[in-house]
Amino acid sequence: MNRLTIIDVAKEAGLSKSTVSRVIRGGGQSVSPQTRQRVLDAIQKLGYEHNALASSLRTNKTHTVLFIIPDIVNPFWPEVARGVQDALRSEGFVMVLASSDWEQKNEVEYLKTAVKHRFDGILINPSGISPRLLQQTGIPVVLLGLNDHYPGFDSVGNDTLEGVRLALDYLYELGHRRIALINGQYHSGGHSSRLEQYLQFMKEKGLPDNPDWTVNCFYGQEYGYQATKQLLSKPVPPSAIFASNDILAIGALKAITDQGYRLPKDISLIGMDDIYPVSITTPPLTTIAKCKYEEGWQAAQLLLQRISGRSFATPRRLSFPPRLVIRESVGKP
């Protein structure tokens, strides 16, 4: 039995091959709902299956996008990935998800995979890969997160610096003056905007720049646990702790309770990201919420525009405002 082709579908639907092709490839926005339904009915009746491999050989397009995230365990990323997936799927694209585990060498290997398999686009929250390597792929790239070290790329993210400020202002207004920072860092090191904002805040408020109240560590629950134990062991422990993200904050929460402290009576704790688990901890954690789904959806939209060949005079940088979510882990000192 001969394999069905797009021509067979066009004949069955009584439409042109180009119209059927637009519907099948997901680019049928200019096609009326009635025409689209005729194509779908013909596909169902004939049992036609689109041969994506053959199509990619003809068009040099695979309709596949690689999405590289730093930590697949962090519940922050599934919401972002859902936004990416929804935006791509509406245009007939497929997302391939990869986790770098905060390692630059893993990012390099994933880029090689994208080139080898002719992916049409790359979305990445970079852990340390150089802009030069991203450019050398020859593949359209959009960044997740606002990173000043990648000025030549479109980027979409949340205003993390404003989020840090929201958290610190809230603690200060409640009366906290001994405010500590658990500063998450990439394995590759580099500049920390959260630490810079924290130090600027302390200076503005005339608060002491006490090195005992700042701990640098990798991102991860266990690192947050150990960093908090270190803070609580100081001669003058902090009255409040701000953790760079909610995963670190969950580790901090466990350390605080293990050391016999009570939240928020003895010490206050605030995180960042507003992932689901922090809403059901005991007590529920105050945090800085980010627009996760929206970030993914918008980043995918920018990437689709690049893939389609649209040119822009300058790279685009889109930022979502954070918001403070008040729960039960923060109180007056």
Q: What is the CATH number of the domain that holds 28?
A: 1.10.260.40
Model pTM above 0.85: no
Q: Which residues constitute the domain of residue 26?
A: 6-50
Q: Is the domain of 99 the same as that of 183? A: no
Yes or no: say if 143 and 67 are a contact pair by the CB < 8 Å rule.
no
CB 157 within 8 A of CB 320: yes
| Interhelix angle 17-24/6-13, nearest 10 degrees | 110
| 298-323 tens-digit pLDDT | 999 999 999 988 878 899 999 999 99
Q: Residue 221 corresponds to which amino acid? A: Q
Token representation of residue 157? 């993210």
286 and 317 belong to one structural domain: no
C-alpha gyration radius of the chain: 24
Which tens digits make up the pLDDT trace of 186-242? 766 656 889 999 999 999 999 988 899 999 999 999 999 999 999 999 999 999 999
CATH code assigned at 233: 3.40.50.2300
Q: Is residue 328 part of a domain?
A: no
